[in-house]
Structure 1
Amino acid sequence: MKDQDLYLSVIKFPAFVSISLLIISAVFLIILFNVFAQPLLANWVRILFIILLAILIFVVLGWMITLFSTHTRLKPKWLQKLSKWMLFNIYYPLAKGLAHITFSSKKNLIESFLYFNNEIVLTDQKDIRNTNILVLLPHCLQKEDCTIRITNDIIKCEECGGCDIAKIKKLITEHNVDAAVATGGFLEHKMIEEKKPEVIVAIATAKELVNSLRDNWNYPVYAVLNEQSTTSNEKNPVNISFIAFAIKQFK
């Protein structure tokens, strides 16, 4: 990816959220001025619009705090949790809505969202050394005809070299971290609740990563994109160096 394309990919999500909030704010203020210009305005209408204005201000301030969190750690835990919840449940849907209206590439927006999330996680974990790191792997990394089914224990891999699981096994052994294969949303969530990791490094396709991030929003999840190959001789490749980089950021 060229530097310019990478830059555009990184800024697309925050730009779309900011533009969405500007449009919503402008439209709301125009409506607000027109409504309050009415000579006989019912009190319940006045109260309703004041409440809506307060909500809009809250959402805009929340977005400013979320942008701030990509560069500086939010120390109050409640503010950190609130910011992450709003990121996944308010700002991401806003950006998706604008992308849909403008016929923008959904894939590029999702990748930008993942970059943005990773910046928050790296900022939040800066100078923190974690001992309980969980690497979540997609089941598609293991070759289909393998007789050893790996779920909670990747160490069972016999390292035949038929897929990338052996390389990842060596990596997690070197760094002394846990790894598990996510075979579904419910099992993944159950696995995380049992292990209660300090940081999660998740490897999956873009769509799966977004779902995992939203399901586990109260955990710091660093996303490693695993693009499935279209060639028959290189199915489901994974960038081992990206996983190694992610682990080193939190150890």
Structure 2
Amino acid sequence: MVRGLFFKLGYPLLLIFGWVFRIRKDKVQRFLIDVNNRLVRRSKRSPAKRLLLLLPHCLQRSECNIKITFNIFNCEGCGKCEIKDFVEIAKAHGLDLFIATGGTIARRIVVDTKPEAIVAVACERDLSSGVIDTYPLPLLGIINERPHGPCFNTRVDIEKVRDALAFFASNAK
């Protein structure tokens, strides 16, 4: 309920506040993601039986010739990016694992897989809209690192993803 009120009232007010005081939109979006993650972690819930791990296509190295956008399990596991690690994690824990090329595809994946909880990796813009679009589903968002600029050879701290998955897998009290 607190999350819902925050999304309906707090976030629009934050955007206006940010605009008035010339705070960059990505900082406001990062704040939304942080507040969402704190509220989700504070909630009491049973372990999620259907857990979705949603990743952006830009985690794949640009020089890779393997097409993984529609089937991440096509990854050949060369180790040049983190995709191999996520495939191993998904197989070991029976997770639904998908790559999304954008928000529309991500929303379709959520509708098709019907998860009980979501761990999503993306940029601030995609995560903030995803957090709002998937409410009331619990979603923990992890912002990707962009050492080469947006949407190109991005990275993510795998330990943050493991921690988020562990939160949903355990009895989160």
Aligned-partner Cα distance in 2 for 1:104–1:241: 30
Change (3 A) 1:220 1:115: same
2:153 is matched with 235
Aligned-partner Cα distance in 2 for 1:156–1:170: 12
Q: Which runs of structure 2 are paired with 1:104-183 in the superposition (5 Å)?
A: 104-124=23-43, 126=44, 128-183=46-101
Query: Quick one: which of 12, 22, 26 aligns to 1:93?
Result: 12
Matched, 1:212 2:92: no
> Contact 2:62/2:153 (CA < 8 Å) preserved in 1?
no
- Of the structure 1 ranges 114-123 and 104-113, higher mean CA displacement relative to structure 2 is found in 104-113
> Which residues of structure 1 form unaligned runs of 5+?
1-64, 67-82
Alpha-carbon shift at residue 201 of structure 1 (Å)? 0.5
> Contact 1:152/1:179 (CA < 8 Å) preserved in 2?
no
Aligned-partner Cα distance in 2 for 1:140–1:168: 14
Give the residue type in structure 1 aligned to 2:113.
K
Residue by residue over 1:131-179, the C-alpha shift from the partner in whole angstroms, topping out at 9 and shown as x without a partner, is 2000000010112232321134322211012211011112222222111
Give the residue type in structure 1 aligned to 2:97.
A
> Contact 2:60/2:153 (CA < 8 Å) preserved in 1?
no
Aligned-partner Cα distance in 2 for 1:242–1:93: 28
**Percent of residue pairs identical:** 30
> Contact 1:153/1:179 (CA < 8 Å) preserved in 2?
no
1:60 is matched with none
- Of the structure 1 ranges 222-231 and 205-214, higher mean CA displacement relative to structure 2 is found in 222-231
1:247 is matched with 165
Aligned residues: 167
Q: Secondary structure at the match of 1:202?
A: strand
Q: Secondary structure at the match of 1:135?
A: strand
Structure number with larger C-alpha Rg: 1
Alpha-carbon shift at residue 218 of structure 1 (Å)? 3.0
Aligned-partner Cα distance in 2 for 1:106–1:186: 21
Question: Runs (4+) of structure 1 moved beyond 3 Å?
Answer: none
Matched, 1:189 2:107: yes
Aligned-partner Cα distance in 2 for 1:134–1:191: 9
Aligned-partner Cα distance in 2 for 1:102–1:155: 45
> Contact 1:111/1:206 (CA < 8 Å) preserved in 2?
yes
> Contact 2:30/2:128 (CA < 8 Å) preserved in 1?
no
Pick 1 or 2: higher relative contact order, CA cutoff 8 A, min separation 6.
2
Give the residue type in structure 2 aligned to 1:217.
Y
> Which residues of structure 2 form unaligned runs of 5+?
none
Aligned-partner Cα distance in 2 for 1:244–1:106: 28
Alpha-carbon shift at residue 235 of structure 1 (Å)? 3.3
Compare the two structures and name the one with the higher helix fraction: 1
Alpha-carbon shift at residue 130 of structure 1 (Å)? 1.2
Aligned-partner Cα distance in 2 for 1:163–1:147: 13
Q: Which runs of structure 2 are paired with 1:41-52 in the superposition (5 Å)?
A: none
Q: Secondary structure at the match of 1:136?
A: strand
RMSD of the TM alignment (CA)? 2.0
